[in-house]
Amino acid sequence: MDSMDMNVLSHALEWSESGHRVALATVAETWGSAPRPVGAWLAVREDGQLVGSVSGGCIEEDLITRMRDDGFPQETAQSVVYGVTKEEAARFGLPCGGKVRLVVEPRPDIRLLRELRERIQAKQLAARVLELKQGSCRLEGATRYDKTSFDGETLRVIYGPRWRLLIVGAGQLSHYLADIALSADYEVTVVDPREEFASGWEKSRVDFIKAMPDDVILQLGVDTHTAIVALTHDPKIDDMALLEALKSPAFYVGALGSRVNTEKRKRRLAQFDLSGEEIERLHGPTGIYIGSRTPPEMAISIMAEITARKNGVPVLQRRELASDFLADAIQQMNRMTV
């Protein structure tokens, strides 16, 4: 499954190399409620075929119409604002008060797009820099901490895997979690020392490492853009990984297991050189409570909690909170029937 960036990029190159005229549109700024974030982009060709999204609504339809009618006759990139008035916001399907500025490239540099694809495929971060005044475009190196920016004249968009997920354990659940994380633009590494779990990863876009996870965590250079999840159910493997993960700057550290087993794990970890604050960083059981029963459902639950943590959103759907809510609801129903 390709990420959204690669999907747009691949189609733009395929269409261009087949002789089609292609234009790119990128979200440069948003005000108020906006359906798509800064950096989101799409490609549209002269017959109206489109891939990607900048609004999920009528802005796409307007871009298709303009491409069919005049093909964006200007030579260089320009900025276009949608949703200036309430009427226009309603017309283009924007939430109340929303406004979006796009940078539209009627003739993107295909050579640079090819190079960008190569960098992303090599898991390198890259910045595509558009100078609207000069009408130029270039690629630069980027880091995980760089963000897309626009100052009115220069649009700098970051592409590539800015976030990284390290999965400890290569079982069935790990396959589903890796697929979802890849589609969410994570760079995914799976580590497992067990020989019997090594097969099945050869043709995936995941880096598989057959080694002890604590050694790998020390070698990878874990940073604040890294999430680590232990999924083996084997304390000898999971606990060793968690000892290093909880001391690292990883923004999320989780482990599979029941609440009872999680408390036992925390007591085991307390016997090592971890502080109480470090141990409390552990998300266990990993994932939000959605009544998961199957590996795909569990993967969705885990990725949802990682996403919430990444975006700084508090997780309210915890198992204990859901249980308390259910108990309160039952008590209220009992009162009503008395």
Task: Note the pLDDT of residue 330.
Answer: 38
Average pLDDT per block of 10 residues along the chain, 338 residues long: 75 94 93 79 92 82 86 83 66 63 93 93 90 92 91 92 92 94 92 88 86 93 94 91 95 92 92 92 92 93 95 75 44 47
Residue pair 313/285 in contact by the 8 Å Cβ criterion: no
CA distances from 295 to 172, 298, 299, 325 (A): 7, 5, 6, 26
Residue with tokens 């408390």: 263
**Computed over its alpha carbons, how large is the radius of gyration of the chain?**
23
Task: Note the pLDDT of residue 305.
Answer: 96
User: Start-end ranges of CATH 3.40.50.720 in the chain?
Assistant: 163-319
Residue pair 267/279 in contact by the 8 Å Cβ criterion: no
CA-nearest of 41, 36, 52, 45 to 95 is 36
Other Cβ atoms less than 10 A from the Cβ of 327: the count is: 10
CA-nearest of 39, 52, 38 to 10 is 52
Task: Note the pLDDT of residue 23.
Answer: 94
CA-nearest of 263, 251, 256, 221 to 237 is 256
CATH 3.40.50.720 corresponds to the domain 163-319: yes
Q: Residue 208: enclosing H or E segment and its boundaries?
A: strand 207-209
Residue pair 265/242 in contact by the 8 Å Cβ criterion: yes
Task: Note the pLDDT of residue 110.
Answer: 94
Residue pair 191/211 in contact by the 8 Å Cβ criterion: yes
CA-nearest of 281, 276, 299, 298 to 242 is 281
DSSP at 325: H
